[in-house]
Structure 1
């Protein structure tokens, strides 16, 4: 199964934009392979890259609040703007289609899965998966978990009691912004469940691995859940506010404000509940996906470091996309 097959935004992107995005990724891998340096810096850059979901959430929250503000200031017809935004976000969460998505994609904004594709290709290029074939069978799940691990959550600054103190100063990395606002015990519990699943798959065999990869394609990450819930609340509040009592318009105002806070900080009121329910970030889902690919042996037999750069990059992308 192709690593990007379940990417709903990618499936709605024009062939021209896809070619530009993929060519840029390949060119970047070749530059790092030829220089034999810069992998660690590039991995850090990928953690901070704004993906489609973060860009969309920031844009939708801004447009929604502007429309509500103008509508409440005496131009009720402009309440159609937040309604359009809410409906568009809901539709995007289900299908990957959004009115501004073609523009985002032409500007090179990538999905979280496309960013993860480059991240794990870089890790393969660095040789993080090279010893998997030599590991004892019963220990391979541990190797897979360690090889696909991402940087730990950064500690707060000495004068910060909570991660939210970062607002207005340095924005948290895209890949970690939700986990930074999740109780550490919950983060550890989610990670432990992933490692337990890897151990089960190591013992269960290839058929179970293929089945689990299919399940991961269907798993909703926390951004998709939030977008669905937030847009539904916006539409409900607008309907009640325009049809019954304008005080109900406080609901979409609050939802869009928290939506913006989530885009920039990674926190909003539903996050603690969703994390307790086990809803994972795309980083956590992709970590399991690529650990399973390591277990399956997708990264075994890659060209040696002294092989031609183009050959190495092609082989690594083929392994990542398998």
Structure 2
């Protein structure tokens, strides 16, 4: 028993004894005066009021305890479910590498990673939803002031998450842009950072994923697009010196089968000796392809700059002479369309 409960209980007992004593005096007194009757009435009123307050306190405490116990049981059950889901997610992610290693084809392994990552993201979303319902359960037993404060803090936290996501998206846009930094984007980033800084004292800190500048930026221009033949231009902008530079393009619409692809290097940095470049186009899906650049010399970087390719992807029923992927270097100096 806590000291507070003991004191309140003692006050209640004292009130009962006082009320009993007043009633005893009233019953044994012979012809009490109006003044005595009035004083006894006042004392009985005060004692009964205090007793009512004490009884109400214990009743409210019992009711609150019962509610808290009920929600605690529900919360414990949800916490167990959350723990199970987190364990499942952890196991699922640990098995991803093993599943991908069982695939003999690079693209099949890549697809296995993609599908399992998407599934893991959905599992994480379900866990987040369960966590929200868990918080709502406790809000139901909190006082009005506490519930308002929690709601306000949760709204600020939710806004912070939205700002973090937008900040990462804008940083990614800057990191993948070939042009100079966009002033409106930079202003927007600064505005979001100031807003996040103003909230950080009242909510837990949310880490912002740092977006690194991509080593190779791919820009694609599609000229012809069908489900069995596609062609266009793919420019690989090598941002820094690399031993191997790889960029990807999309095939839209998706092709009827995995196509063969022929690429031709039609433009490169002036200082590059194209004869020293090893160009390898690759396909393995019906929706994308890639081009890899590598120097034929040992331990030599692929120089920075823009490498523009003309590509043609054709399914087996197309008119491409070879069913294998091919690469060549154009000797002409004609400018490709921008």
TM superposition score category, shorter chain reference: under 0.3
Q: Considering fraction of residues, name the structure with more strand.
A: 2
Larger radius of gyration: 2
Higher fraction of helix: 1
Q: TM-score, normalised by structure 1?
A: 0.23
What is the TM-score normalised by the length of structure 2?
Answer: 0.22
